[in-house]
Amino acid sequence: MIVVPYTRLLDETREAVPEARFVEVEPEQGYRELLAELWRRGEAFTLVEHDVVPTRAQLAELGACPEPWCHYGYFPGHWIPVFGCCRFSAELIAGTAGAWGDPSWHWGQLDARFAQHARARGWTPHWHSPHVRHDAEFNFAGRSARVEIPDRLLLDLAERERAAVLASLA
């Protein structure tokens, strides 16, 4: 199952995962509440955020990976388990019960908060590469036009990663 919580859904995201369950969420608490609901359900799923565009190959790789907690980065420098495109196994969900009960967790911090919660319980995230494509302009300026990632922003990536990101933009 793929779940896409959204407040503003990018067309390319919808096209990238047409089989997903798209859930419009209330901007402040809706994302956390949806995750709480999915945790209560307890089934493995892949989370794709509303401005992230994974390829089919990237989704298949997450689906096939035996690790319990898998993620892609989406912004240069991301090696942390951000929620742009992330897979949660049923074991991880069961092992991190109660993660979503704190309404003080801001929607923009949910991934970092969850990582802290899960690591404290012995879970380790598994990073996949290359990064998924993220519509930076849509996210930061509220417009739907796609922008290329400026080359200078890629400088902090390892060379192998940088080449992969550039190839994905070509």
Interface with Zn ion (CB under 5 A): 65, 67, 70, 126
Task: Name which of 71 and 134 has its Cβ closer to Zn ion.
Answer: 71
Beta carbon of residue 92, minimum distance to Zn ion (angstroms, whole number): 11
Q: Distances from the Cα of 109 to the Cαs of 36, 86, 137, 155, in angstroms?
A: 15, 15, 20, 25
DSSP state, residue 18 = T
Tell me the C-alpha distance between 45 and 41, whole Å.
Answer: 10
Beta carbon of residue 123, minimum distance to Zn ion (angstroms, whole number): 12
Beta carbon of residue 111, minimum distance to Zn ion (angstroms, whole number): 16
Task: Name which of 66 and 98 has its Cβ closer to Zn ion.
Answer: 66
Beta carbon of residue 70, minimum distance to Zn ion (angstroms, whole number): 3
Task: Name which of 126 and 162 has its Cβ closer to Zn ion.
Answer: 126
Tell me the C-alpha distance between 42 and 144, whole Å.
Answer: 34
Letter string b/e over residues 121-141, b meaning 16 or more CB atoms within 10 A of that residue's CB: eebebeebbbbbbbbbebbee
Task: Name which of 116 and 124 has its Cβ closer to Zn ion.
Answer: 124
Q: Which of 2, 9, 22 is nearest to 135 (CA)?
A: 9
